Structure 1
Amino acid sequence: MKRVLIANRGEIAVRILRTCKEMGFHTIAVYSEADRDALHVALSDEAHLLGPAPARESYLNIERLLQVAHHARADTVHPGYGFLSENADFAAACRAQGLTFVGPSPETIRQLGDKCAARALAERIAVPTVPGYTEDDMSERRLLREAKRIGTPLILKAAGGGGGRGMRIVSDLVQLPEALAAARSEALAAFGDERIFLERYIPRARHVEVQILGDFQGNVIHLFERECSVQRRYQKIVEESPSCGVNATLREALTEAAVRIAKAANYVGAGTVEFLVEANAAEPRFYFLEVNTRLQVEHPVTEAVTGLDLVRLQFHVAQGLPLPYAQEDISLMGHAIEVRLCAEDPANHFLASPGTVRFWQAPEGPGIRVDTALETGSFVSPYYDPLLAKIIAFGKTRAEALARLERALMETHGVGVKTNLAYLLDIIRHRAFREGDLSTRFLEEHFTEWKAFAEPPEEVLLALAATSLEGDRVPALRGASLLNSQKPLSPWYTVGRWRNT
């Protein structure tokens, strides 16, 4: 393993590139026409154009990716997350071309990527699953009959993929035919597979996932759990480790179940086993949801509390080496919380906000990590996920991590695109969040009436940013309000040694 092609873009491509550099690998980036000036291109040893901006013509083009890999003499492909990371055909094509695919085998990806097959596997080894229906007959008549048996509320899920696409909640069986048609249409468009299965919907549940690692020798370990309950439209916004809703007994049961599933699937590499945990039960019960056969967006919180580099470990086991750690070598230290800063407008139904970032200032300081590909002047494309940066705070306790995260968000400044920064701040400041009273309905229960505050005009923000660069003396850009500052507001104070002669 010497020449690694990173089949991705954005912050995850940058994150993988940096570990590759540390390991002495030659890095090969790929990019679309929209990403010519992207940071991952600049940081790589060499970069190759895939094609036009649309993902299907560039980052999802398997044939073109393999052509680039051959031309660049790559011996390894890291898929990152999203795009082709959970595509069994891509993993198989890499193997056929003699490339090492950093991830599980195509057979494992295919088995676990099918939600019905993954659920059947969990049931076979006695891991609890939500009551539901996943059999082959998915006709409307059969689904209606099974829905009556299971009872409402129900959730419809796409068998061929996740990420919230193809999902519908049904509270009355009268709604089922319409919801089923919509879910099938969305699933077919997203995954090329219209199969829909049924599960009982648990309104107050935590979304808790377990990080796993496996090697070719059959060893599997876990790296504890992450809490991912704060979600908007099934998309995670805030993630943390450990979960404040998981005690030692439940942690042991969750992690043991995750390891059993991984071993049953002959899992190699990094992956995540996701569970629902009943939030209000006197004795919390958990249910298997699915397995993500890739690196997760939220992997930095696990790295923070274990001190391990998951990308480095991915490369380690991909070379056929045994895991360098036994389970007893892994310990849980402190607390970490991550938020996803996105280019979207919360005041306008969270619509994507593409454009040029005219000023960008990432937070720094004790316990803060920022994973991003953003720079001043970066262009945020409308063609891809709007994620700008992942801001991670680590502390000895959850309270310390929260305090650091709040401070970091107040020191985060970007001009040129709308972001969800204020929304994130209000989430982590909310009393229920502070108390750890979380469920997948958190935003529905507490933020349906949320309204964004009115930001100053962009030209004012740019003027403040420019003045900040000229001496770093503007209180507003140091996390304080000008109105609350005790310092003089005179321009003669803010411009430093400059004087009008």
Structure 2
Amino acid sequence: MKKILIANRGEIAIRVIRSAHEMGISTVAVYSDADRTALHVQHADEAVYIGKSSASDSYLSISKIIEACKQTNVDAVHPGYGFLSENPLFAKALEKESIKLIGPSSEAMELMGNKLSAKKLALAHKIPLLKGTSHPISDTNEALQQARDIGFPILIKAAAGGGGKGMRIVQDQEDFLNELKLAISEASSAFGDGSVFLERYISAPKHVEIQVLADEHGNSIYLFERECSIQRRHQKVIEEAPCSVLTPAIREKMGKCALDLVKACNYTGAGTVEFIVDNQLNFYFLEMNTRLQVEHPITELITGVDLVKEQINIAQGKVLSLTQEDVNIQGHAIELRIYAEDPKNNFLPDTGMLDNYKIPSGPGVRVDNAYDIGMEVSVYYDPMIAKLSVWGKDRHEAIQRMKRAITEYKITGIKNTLNFGSFVMDHPAFQDGSYNTKFIDIHFQSESIENCDKDALISALIGNYLFKKKQQPDPLSNSQKNNSRSNWRRNRTN
């Protein structure tokens, strides 16, 4: 494999480019109108324009991505996450053109990408499941009867897609039919598939996922777990690895369940099997993501494994370089997603120019970044600016390191989630590991970060004062400055 195209943008494109370059593989970036000057375009060896700013005209256009592959004569495509990364039609289109997808087969993607077919596979292999329906629900009378049998509260879920789309929590029977119609409508709009199913709703679980790797020779391993319970709108904001409450025995059981699914669907590449865990530490299969996860850096930090390099090696037909016995948990890692969002206003996205932008550094700090000072956060794409990940020898050190890194991270011009991260790190429920997916609903209010905002404002005012002071005219007269420059030139030539 000599050249790969990254069918994505932003920090994940840069992250893939870096690993590819370390392997001696050249890279091709693709970009839209909004991304003409983006950092991922600058990092790649080549770049191909693929269309207008809207994702549907660029990063979601299978035909334009295929044309860019042909134009640059690449051997393979890395899809990153989001966009076309879990689209079996894209995988099939690449297969038809004899271009390797750095990911699973279209068949495995199709099987595990649909939550209902994934649940059936899990059931066949005796993997714990929540009580629910095993087929798509469209008839309202049948749906209501099934809901009564399962018992309220009920979770209505879209069979296709993810990211919280087509998902509704229904507390009682009175609201059920209306919420069902809304879920079907949202699923149809988001995924082109209105299929939904019902599931018993656990009100405050932990969200724990298992990272897996599998090669084309039947070998597979799991690289332990990540906890992703700090969420807004069913989407993750803070993750940590490992989960602070799992016992070694439960961890091993969850890992075995994940590998059973991998083998059952002939999966290859990197993937994630997601579970919910109740307050008794019972776990239930949720879904499988057939791609690299946003939060993969914290797994890399606790295992020392470069997941992108492993993906590329697997796509080249190589045997896994690791066995299960080779992988150990080393320390603790935490990731904060730096979103251009306003936590004080229900995490609504923000856009605009990064007036000031300085990333943290130092021992145990990693920033997967896609921006620089003066760049604009676009309205067209996901509002994530960067991912701040830290590693410590234990969980306490990781929390303290994250707190330090957040104070070093400087962003002005755009509202962001840095202060929210500080709030979480200081909260007793996070510090003792007892938090769950209801953390924001239960513990967070806009006033919670007022003090953090005041500190940030003071820092910004001081920084602005020092900047302006630096820009003031030199107190030396023009003649003095000219003489100074002339003397330097004269002394240099003598």
- TM-score, normalized by length of structure 1? 0.91
Bigger CA radius of gyration: 2
- The C-alpha deviation readout for 1:9-28, integer Å capped at 9, x for no partner, is 00100100111111111110
Aligned counterpart, 1:339: 336
Aligned counterpart, 1:422: 419
Aligned counterpart, 1:474: none
**Separation of aligned partners in 2, 1:358 and 1:449:** 24
Structural mapping, 1:366-377, within 5 Å: 366-377=363-374
Structure 2 letter corresponding to 1:308: V
**Contact persistence 2:344–2:446 (CA under 8 A):** no
Task: Give 1:420 shift.
Answer: 1.6
**Contact persistence 2:136–2:196 (CA under 8 A):** no
Aligned counterpart, 1:159: 159
Name segments (4+ residues, structure 1) moved above 3 Å. Answer: 448-452, 454-470, 498-501
Residue 208 of structure 1 pairs with residue 208 of structure 2: yes
Residue among 305, 316, 319 paired with 2:316: 319
Structural mapping, 1:331-480, within 5 Å: 331-448=328-445, 450-453=447-450, 455=453, 464-465=462-463
**Contact persistence 1:20–1:26 (CA under 8 A):** yes
**Separation of aligned partners in 2, 1:398 and 1:299:** 18
**Separation of aligned partners in 2, 1:300 and 1:450:** 31
Aligned counterpart, 2:238: 238
**Separation of aligned partners in 1, 2:364 and 2:238:** 17
**Separation of aligned partners in 2, 1:322 and 1:64:** 32
Aligned counterpart, 1:189: 189
**Separation of aligned partners in 2, 1:460 and 1:131:** 52
Structure 1 letter corresponding to 2:119: R
- The C-alpha deviation readout for 1:198-252, integer Å capped at 9, x for no partner, is 0000112110000000010111100000011111110101101100020111101
Task: Give 1:495 shift.
Answer: 10
Aligned counterpart, 2:120: 120
**Separation of aligned partners in 1, 2:136 and 2:294:** 32
- The C-alpha deviation readout for 1:345-382, integer Å capped at 9, x for no partner, is 22333221111112110011111000011111111100
SS in 2 for 1:312: helix
Task: Give 1:421 shift.
Answer: 1.3
The change in CA–CA distance for 1:311 and 1:405 in structure 2 (over 3 A counts) is same
**Contact persistence 2:360–2:409 (CA under 8 A):** yes
Structure 1 letter corresponding to 2:128: P
Residue among 279, 283, 286 paired with 1:286: 283
- The C-alpha deviation readout for 1:384-413, integer Å capped at 9, x for no partner, is 000011101100100000000000001111
Structure 2 letter corresponding to 1:332: I
Aligned counterpart, 1:18: 18
Structural mapping, 1:140-179, within 5 Å: 140-179=140-179
> Aligned-pair RMSD on alpha carbons?
2.1
**Separation of aligned partners in 1, 2:121 and 2:132:** 14
Gaps of 5+ in 1: 471-490
**Separation of aligned partners in 2, 1:461 and 1:447:** 24
Q: How many residues align?
A: 476
**Contact persistence 1:223–1:330 (CA under 8 A):** yes
Question: Which structure carries more helix by proportion?
Answer: 2
Task: Give 1:464 shift.
Answer: 3.9
**Contact persistence 1:370–1:389 (CA under 8 A):** yes
SS in 2 for 1:257: helix
**Separation of aligned partners in 2, 1:76 and 1:273:** 25
The change in CA–CA distance for 1:42 and 1:152 in structure 2 (over 3 A counts) is same
**Contact persistence 1:415–1:461 (CA under 8 A):** no
**Contact persistence 1:359–1:465 (CA under 8 A):** no
Task: Give 1:418 shift.
Answer: 1.1
**Separation of aligned partners in 1, 2:17 and 2:232:** 30
Structure 1 letter corresponding to 2:392: G
- The C-alpha deviation readout for 1:446-468, integer Å capped at 9, x for no partner, is 11464542857999876644666
**Separation of aligned partners in 2, 1:405 and 1:220:** 32
Gaps of 5+ in 2: 478-494
**Contact persistence 2:75–2:99 (CA under 8 A):** yes
**Separation of aligned partners in 2, 1:452 and 1:310:** 35
SS in 2 for 1:133: coil
Using the aligned pairs only, state the percent identity: 45
The change in CA–CA distance for 1:348 and 1:242 in structure 2 (over 3 A counts) is same
